[in-house]
Chain A
Amino acid sequence: MKILFLIFAAITLGSAFMVVTTKKMIHAAFWLITTLFGVAALYALLNAGFMAMVQIVVYVGAIAILFIFAIMLTRKEMLDSAAPLNKNWGIAALFSLLSFAGLYTLLRNWTGFSNEAPELAAGVDTITELGTALVTPDAYLLPFEVASVLLLAALIGAVYVANDAKNQQEAEK
């Protein structure tokens, strides 16, 4: 178990590092996909099979595809951008190291820092419970419906903005 965790953690962190440093945007997108697979494997290790599948369906199947399309649409720019990082990258690195150190010390002082996972109760179907929780008014009915409204807002907003881009493209012709 520990070995598996270390392998997946190394994949996740290594490819995440490549995402933020690699030069070609399309490679960054593919490294992101590797990271996402690593995270999905970690979910599977945590017995959260539903989350692992959702991770692949939503992130790899949809969000990564959207990223690749966007990169392809704006690619002309990418070909000649020499340095991937801006001039403040030193400060940024310091900042993120500090944030990691801060998070680490915070966690260190937490009492439950080295807790082990409790045994999962046998015969509990997480998905049924999840479905029940999502539509029970005392539980998460409101977030469930609000999520739908959020997605609707995102769709309308993005379509509105992209419509602009489409008209622009037609005007150029």
Chain B
Amino acid sequence: MIPISWYLILAAALFSIGLFGVLARKNAVAILLGVELMLNAVNINLVTFWRYNAPETVTGQVFAIIVFAVAAAEVAVGLALIISIYRNRNTIVADDLDMMKW
């Protein structure tokens, strides 16, 4: 059988890749893709802990479902904002979005 460490390391690696995407990508949509990777890593952790530490309760799965809802809400609003910005300023390069700077 697979020890828990494999899953946790996988989740950590996925989280780091997502973090890299968030920090390094130019495109705002790509940044959201990175956030999705990070949320997935979190979900892997939650389900893993459910399976290995408390399979008799459903806490881990409930948490994971709520993370799904949060991810959906985040994507819906985030992408709507990006589309709106694209319409108004004709760019979605995150570095160019500096209207709050002075």
Residues of A at the B interface (CB closer than 8 Å) are: 1-2, 5, 9, 12-13, 16-17, 19-20, 25, 28-29, 32, 35-36, 39, 42-43, 45-48, 50-51, 54-55, 58-59, 62-63, 66-67, 70-71, 73-74, 77-78, 81, 83-86, 88-89, 91-93, 95-97, 99-100, 103-104, 107, 112-118, 120-121, 124, 126, 129-130, 133-134, 139-140, 143, 147, 150-151, 153-155, 157-159, 161-162, 164-165, 168-169
Does A154 contact B77, Cβ atoms closer than 8 Å?
Answer: yes
Give Cα A161–Cα B89 distance, bound, in whole angstroms: 14
Among B24, B26, B32: residue with most chain A CB under 10 A: B24
Does B5 contact A107, Cβ atoms closer than 8 Å?
Answer: yes
- Which chain B residues border A100 with CB–CB below 8 Å? 12-13, 15-16
Residues of B at the A interface (CB closer than 8 Å) are: 1-10, 12-21, 23-27, 29-30, 32-34, 36-37, 40, 43-44, 47-48, 50-53, 55-56, 58-59, 61-62, 64-66, 68-77, 79-84, 86-88, 90-95
The count of A-to-B residue pairs whose CB atoms sit within 8 angstroms is 252
| Interface of A (DSSP majority class) | helix
Does A158 contact B80, Cβ atoms closer than 8 Å?
Answer: yes
